A = this chain, B = another copy of it.
Amino acid sequence: MKRLYLEFFFGVSGLFLLCVLAFAFAMRTLAPDYEGEVEIGYVSGVVSILDDVEAQRGQPVADNLLAGFAKRNGLTVTPLPWDDPALSVEMANKVRRLGTAYQSDNHYWVTFGDRARVYYLAPDESASIWQHAETKVAVMWLSFLFTFALYSALMIRLLARRFNQLERATLAFAEGDFHARASENPKDRLGRLNLRFNQMADKIGALIASHKQLSNAVAHELRTPIFRVQCQLDLLESSELSAQQQSYVAGINEDMDELEA
């Protein structure tokens, strides 16, 4: 059952992983702007506030507030010139147009106020919030794997119960209990295997029974004529016979004894 167990476990784990990857890919491919929009919602809301702050109180105050916001969210802020090689042309155009652009999970480009520079927000790996998030994802995957392992074990148990049931019937049949049959109850059935086993058991049982019957019948059929021959031989023996004839009768008698045995 080890092989079956591994098939069950790796089957469900592998397919599930494929499903998650396909889902993530589909979401990014089919609704790429939307995905970015959702993830960047809060950031772009903050940028619109900072735009207002800069207009009233200047860029340094807004920069300070951005730094405070980033700190609270476990993000680092890196001010960069617009021609920084890390910022692609396409991405730069998007930031100019919208004020924010989504690079990847929790990595954003933003600009506001005088728009003299662009700011790169990225997770501060040492912040407990990201470590916690990483732990959470790891625990989640472990829970999934554990669930699939448990599931495989339960399914194997379920199958094993049926295998054992059919196995016992097979063993009993082999041991000579030709009335042994597998349960055809839906909850014990293994596809049509139980049905087929029972059909085979019926046929083989009938065949063996007919063999036995035949042997008995043959023995019985022989007994009557042998008995009659022996009676007539007795009568012949008690009649007048030449020595030659007596030797024939004695020979026949011997052979009849052999037949009877």
Contact = CB atoms under 8 A, between A and B. Distances in A.
Nearest to A156: B191
A193 B207 contact: no
A124 interface: no
Interface string A52-92: 11001100010001001110111000000000000000000
B155 A23 contact: no
User: Top 4 closest A-B pairs, CB basis?
Assistant: A174-B200, A42-B42, A19-B147, A45-B69
A22 B173 contact: no
A256 to B, nearest CB: 7
A12 interface: yes
9 contacts: A1-B191, A16-B144, A19-B147, A44-B72, A48-B65, A53-B53, A207-B208, A225-B259, A229-B252
A136 interface: yes
Interface in A225-246: 225-226, 228-229, 232-233, 235-236, 239-242, 244-245
A174 to B, nearest CB: 4
A74 B139 CA distance: 31
Given A23-B140, A222-B222, 6 more contacts: A11-B154, A15-B150, A22-B143, A41-B72, A49-B68, A160-B191
Interface of A: 1, 3-4, 7-8, 11-12, 15-16, 18-19, 22-23, 27, 31, 34, 37-38, 41-46, 48-50, 52-53, 56-57, 61, 65, 68-70, 72-74, 129, 132-133, 136, 139-140, 143-144, 146-148, 150-151, 154-155, 158-160, 163-164, 166-167, 170-171, 173-175, 186-187, 189-193, 196-197, 199-200, 203-204, 207-208, 211-212, 214-215, 218, 222, 225-226, 228-229, 232-233, 235-236, 239-242, 244-245, 248-249, 251-252, 255-256, 258-259
